[in-house]
Chain A
């Protein structure tokens, strides 16, 4: 989405929370209007290690807080415009007739991605360093949010360190999504964490929601969703990609149509996945299709 609005290669998306706040807020709004019940914040790469690579480490707290504040503004604006409900107010608003409108909370999930550092034997980071770094990222957010979504984790150990940081730094529910690839023996992270075992470990370690995002497309996510459903009693969150990207005139194009994505999303709900979102290549149009499909069910 940000790339379509002109984010340049080598520019961290989080920088726009400060530099182009209206664009970021507009994107949040477009997801709310498409029917998103939870929006994730533009803070995925807002940890120290990632921002350091762009010389923005000192601005980390400012960028992360701005990402959440803009989401809060978008939710409040949406609530006043459509009679929806801002998650900060305690009771649903009343319509002009005095009847209570449907209680449909719009939630803000703080998105936390990998630090980009690797634990041994691939790299030399320690779990404590990662936990400290993610804790610092969360503690730097002086704005209200409803959930934490740790996502695109390719090493269960890093996911567990981030989970510990989230649990130690905030009281909100924490979802953890790993990124799996399919190989001849099943679904594994690049570090070799098997999907069912990883979900169980996350449950045992206090995650409130577990799931998978990125890398695989919606059809394959159904297969993975079944495995996850069979491995844990926790709510499951799946955010597939919109197919595989191909390049056209220098920009990535994802070929999957929103309707096809939505059909798979509805199947995910049918097999017991509790929440579905979109990762790479998805847009508000995809969410709109999913949302419309759900109301028709």
Chain B
């Protein structure tokens, strides 16, 4: 949780070599840490650097555990498939990247499309990856309108019933999400994880 990447990798390896159950290692080990980091963010103890550290550490540990996870179970243990990006015309991507990192640290399979993502690319990627959740960010009041456009195009492509849509970014809000027909809004990366859990459960 303190963002000690080397230690996390070492612990993950140790867990495996001792023959610990890989699910147990994740659920009772690392997940506790990332959840605690999320709580500390919410209570105002943690900020972007600490959260970034924690999420990167979690990701590094999950990398080590991935082969064991795959061997243990043929079925996909990811909590859901996520496609995420910052909307067309908007180059801001720090918040979006953190959401992507936190989601993958929390067990989602995340494809990060980057920033300035064309509307149709959200649709085509959601389709080809059979995504459960599309997350869109916008930091500008001028670009957030693109969220609405993507939702329309998901509808036109017949995908809207199969995929949940989560929006975020400074000018967006819960009211904005409901106005454009998104399934939810997250103010920050921690809330995004809560929302994903609620939407995909």
Contacts and interface: CB of A to CB of B under 8 A. Distances in A.
Given A245-B141, A247-B141, A188 B90 contact: no
A185 B42 CA distance: 10
Given A183-B44, A185-B44, A244 B52 contact: no
A184 B43 contact: yes
A253 to B, nearest CB: 9
Interface in A31-70: 53
Contacts of A184: 43-44
Contacts of A245: 141, 171
Given A8-B142, A10-B143, A188 B43 contact: no
B145 A121 contact: no
A interface residue count range (under 10 / 10 to 19 / 20 to 34 / 35 or more): 20 to 34
Contact of B143 (A9, A118, A183, A191): A9
A252 B169 CA distance: 14
Nearest to A246: B175
A7 B89 CA distance: 12
Interface in B17-45: 43-45
Contacts of A116: 91-92
Contact of B91 (A7, A53, A186, A191): A53
A3 interface: yes
- For chain B, the bracket of interface size reads 20 to 34
B192 to A, nearest CB: 15
Nearest to B93: A116
Main secondary structure of the interface of A (DSSP, over half): loop
Nearest to B147: A247
Contact of B47 (A8, A186, A190): A190
B50 A10 contact: no
B27 to A, nearest CB: 26
B44 A244 contact: no
A95 interface: no
A9 B89 contact: yes
Interface string A217-260: 00000000000000000000000000011110011100000000
A121 B56 contact: yes
A250 B180 CA distance: 11
Nearest to A280: B141
Nearest to B171: A245
Contacts of A7: 142
B94 interface: yes
A185 B48 contact: no
Nearest to B188: A190
B86 to A, nearest CB: 12
Contact of B52 (A53, A122, A188, A252): A122
Given A191-B47, A251-B142, 12 more contacts: A9-B90, A10-B90, A116-B92, A118-B94, A121-B3, A122-B52, A122-B94, A184-B44, A192-B48, A192-B49, A252-B144, A252-B171
Interface of B: 3, 43-50, 52-53, 56, 88-92, 94, 116, 140-146, 170-171, 173, 175-176, 179
What are the 4 A-B residue pairs with the smallest beta carbon separation, nearest first? A192-B47, A252-B141, A10-B89, A183-B44
